[in-house]
Chains A and B, each alone.
Chain A
Amino acid sequence: MRPQGRAETQSLYFDYPQFKAPEDRKHLEGRARVAIVGAGPVGMTAALALAREGIASVLLDAKSTFNDGSRAICVSRSSFYILQRLGVVAPFLDKALGWTTGRSFYRGQQILEFDMPDGPDEKYRPMYNIQQQYIEQFLWDAIAREPLIETRWQSTVEGIEDRDGGLCLTVRDPQSVYKMTADWVLAADGARSAIRKMRGLRLKGENYEGRYVIADVQMAHDYPTIRRALFDPDCRRGGTVLVHKQPDDIWRIDYQLRDDEDADAAIAETTVRASVQAVLDDLGYDGTWDLEWWSIYSANTLALDDYRDGRVFFIGDSAHIVPIFGVRGLNNGLADAQNIAWKLARVLDGRAQDALLESYSPERRGATLDVFANASKSARFMTPPTPGWQLMRDAALSLALRHPFAGQLANPRQMTPYTYSDSPITEMDDVGFNGGPLPGAVLPEVRVHSGYLTDLLGSGFTLVTCSTAISEAVSHDELTNVVIPTGSAVDMALQLGADGAYLIRPDMHVASRWTKATAAQVMAALARNHGDLT
């Protein structure tokens, strides 16, 4: 929502473009290999990831511009690697505000300062704040340059049915209603996914009681990019407030509503202004500010039972809705997009068997359930659902002033990348390893000369070893071989030893690892990661 007198996308600092429906109508009913429904950050990432693999797609969105408002503002380190691998990370690094530190306050007193894992070995910061419309703008700039992606704005998908070994979509735009067929559909159409409804599927899970108003204000507030959590502050007794800095002097204020506060009344402009002013008073900010945008949010943990329905894959919020505290909504959506793209591309161009696609849902739904477990913990601390949780939360906060162990209970422990240990393509670990990332885990970053380990990875699979003999014994069209000096930092981090090797997937997860690698083992693991599950 925007203040009275301003249109939905009339921002203080961002010019929303206006996109037209397709003008060239001749080819609209042609067959697409992949149709992506929803041109938000997740759909755009999927389109770009497919294009990087040489696969063309049609990207459809009902709107004529980007999503209104800053929405998902925390982009994690793992997402920066996805952007890097798409070749679009530069504008994000220019614009976004990297951060490492969070501070928690209880009744005005600081009780905890936590740092997320970071250091000189890390290429990217643990978290970056940037408004969602910039995320969409930067992805769009890359899509506009990409001939393999055809975007159709103002195009609503009104029907979807299985036909001719593909899916027949009914599309309505301002000029006509037409049908098009796609071999595969990626449903990136958000929390209220129309594709999900038309396929007769429902999200399942829990709704939490806590409701938050999220409001953006523009102000010249002098404070570093540190996430602040205010527990039981003067401005909102019994509630919790979160404060995030964004680019362009925009500040995100999230404040919890009391159980007796009516949602409609709470989002009235005058109420929002008064509530924000009270928070700013608590923060000690006495300057002027402009209200930019606000919305209301409640904490849910909802997911589909299966992220695949025949030839439809659900990616992003259409498949899962998570509480904001873990900042995993957008970040997990981007990982969904990357995950399905490298697999679907390989199936489409014949490099991989269909069975590879069976790994998408276990891997990405597993990641969602992991977020649920963590987010539920965070939600219970931020918005205690019952008297028992409330009492223990208050006890911890009250002790935290003098006892750091209790303050640690307020540490949100955000964002540890999920390990795909239960995936059908992840191999059993070699028990001989003493350290290093497990199969299914994300490759850790390591400094290499003037760059980083991840800079050495190929665009497909990568074999990392210290052994020239192993490297020379294995060759595959998809494989980049990286030979690491014995005793180097990478050798230490991966515990490679003389004959060890890691096979790294296109999404930087470890496919398999061996203490004494043979060419046959590596080729078998590569085959498995191309859908040969025999």
Chain B
Amino acid sequence: MTEIDIERVYDALATTLDSLTADKRDLFLAKIALLLAHELGDADRICDLIAEAARTSPD
């Protein structure tokens, strides 16, 4: 995936999140997570990425 590709995904997520009311954002993120996981099709890899995303940022 190129820098341009990931930027397009980044933008699409941001604009979609902004188009939703606050109470629908969590549900949307959970849905997209399930859809992407199903596309990726590798449960071990996905669980590693879930752990990665759960890491607190070093600030």
Contacts and interface: CB of A to CB of B under 8 A. Distances in A.
A392 interface: yes
B27 A396 contact: no
A399 B34 contact: yes
A403 B27 CA distance: 16
A395 B27 contact: yes
Contacts of A391: 26-27, 30
Interface string A398-413: 1100010110000000
A403 B32 CA distance: 12
A392 B38 contact: no
Chain B interface, DSSP helix/strand/loop, else mixed: helix
Interface string B12-55: 00000000000000110011011100100000000000000000
Contacts of A395: 27, 30-31, 33-34
A532 interface: no
B35 A392 contact: no
Interface in A428-471: none
A405 B39 CA distance: 11
Contacts, number: 23
A29 interface: no
Contacts of B33: 395
Chain A interface, DSSP helix/strand/loop, else mixed: helix
A399 B28 CA distance: 10
| Interface size of A as a range | 10 to 19
A308 to B, nearest CB: 39
A532 B29 CA distance: 59
| Interface size of B as a range | under 10
Contacts of A392: 30, 34
Contacts of A394: 27, 30
Contacts of A396: 34
A270 to B, nearest CB: 33
A493 B34 CA distance: 37
Nearest to A406: B34
A306 to B, nearest CB: 35
A381 to B, nearest CB: 14
A395 B30 CA distance: 6
Nearest to A395: B30
B1 to A, nearest CB: 23
Contacts of B35: 399, 403
A394 B38 CA distance: 17
A459 to B, nearest CB: 46
Nearest to B38: A405
A360 to B, nearest CB: 37
A405 B34 CA distance: 10
Contacts of A405: 38
A391 B34 CA distance: 12
Interface in A285-316: none
A43 B22 CA distance: 55
Chain B CB count within 10 A is highest, among A395, A403, A405, A406, for A395
16 contacts: A391-B26, A391-B27, A391-B30, A392-B30, A394-B27, A394-B30, A395-B27, A395-B31, A398-B27, A398-B31, A399-B34, A399-B35, A403-B35, A403-B38, A405-B38, A406-B38
**A-B CB proximity, top 3 nearest:** A395-B30, A395-B31, A391-B30
Given A391-B27, A394-B27, 15 more contacts: A391-B30, A394-B30, A395-B30, A395-B31, A395-B33, A395-B34, A396-B34, A398-B27, A398-B31, A399-B31, A399-B34, A399-B35, A405-B38, A406-B34, A406-B38
